[in-house]
Amino acid sequence: MRKIVLASTSPYRQQLLRQLRLPFITAAPSFVEDIDSNVAPALLVRHLALGKAQSLVESYPDALIIGSDQLFVDQRRRPVGKAGNLPAAFQQLKQMVGRTHCFYTGLALLDSRSGTVQTDYATYSVSFRKLSDDQIYNYLQREKPFDCAGSFKIEGLGIALMEKMEGEDYNALIGLPLIKLVSMLEIAGANVLGN
């Protein structure tokens, strides 16, 4: 089995990749993310995911390197970042409630031995319930999701904020589209379920 490298230190992505029960290591990508709001989200996340994977080629010359990047955009297709603190998170959520927003998650699989590259992306939309200021504040106090784009963690209490969620792969919402990754790994010769 080829060495598999996840170009991420995200505990969420690591947890998702563990579901495939393949041995892998993680490495921090040395890639500077440049978010250009003039570039279509689908193109941007594919570019960022590939940049992360490519940044590890010299360190891992004979590996399958997985890069992933995510962009959360509001109903006007503007990027929504990480709030960083309670007041900013409150304002962020207050503007999002009662509306539908979308996650774009880019995926790249780079075979550093052959130079073969596969890229793709998945989308997942989330529709927020109408919430009172007290409900928003209580959620933020309990979950403290200040390091998450959009100021919520769907894998936690954030599910209580939602009215509806739609997409092709729930895992893309958390940060790593596993359905697409399984297909990419098989094309690269790493069959998740064996032969």
> Tokens representing 77?
């297709």
Q: What stretch of H or E contains 179?
A: helix 178-187
pLDDT digits (tens, 9 = 90+) for 13-26: 999 999 999 999 99
pTM score over 0.75: yes
Q: Which of 116-125, 145-154, 159-168 has the lowest mean pLDDT?
A: 145-154
pLDDT digits (tens, 9 = 90+) for 165-189: 999 999 998 899 999 999 999 999 9
pLDDT above 80 for 69: yes
Burial class of residue 12, CB neighbours in 10 A (0-12, 13-18, 19+)? middle
Query: Which CATH class, in words, describes the domain spanning 3-187?
Result: alpha beta
Catalytic residue among 69, 74, 111, 147: 69
- Quickly state the pLDDT bin for 156 (edges 50, 70, 90): confident
State the Cα–Cα distance between residues 167 and 131, nearest whole angstrom.
23
Annotation marks residue 74 as catalytic: no
pLDDT above 90 for 126: yes
Bridge partners for 123 per DSSP: 104
| Residue 86, pLDDT score | 96
| Residue 15, pLDDT score | 94
Q: How far is CA 67 from CA 97, 115, 149, in A?
A: 31, 14, 18
Whether 25 and 3 have beta carbons less than 8 Å apart is answered as yes
φ/ψ (deg, to 5) at 54: -60, -30
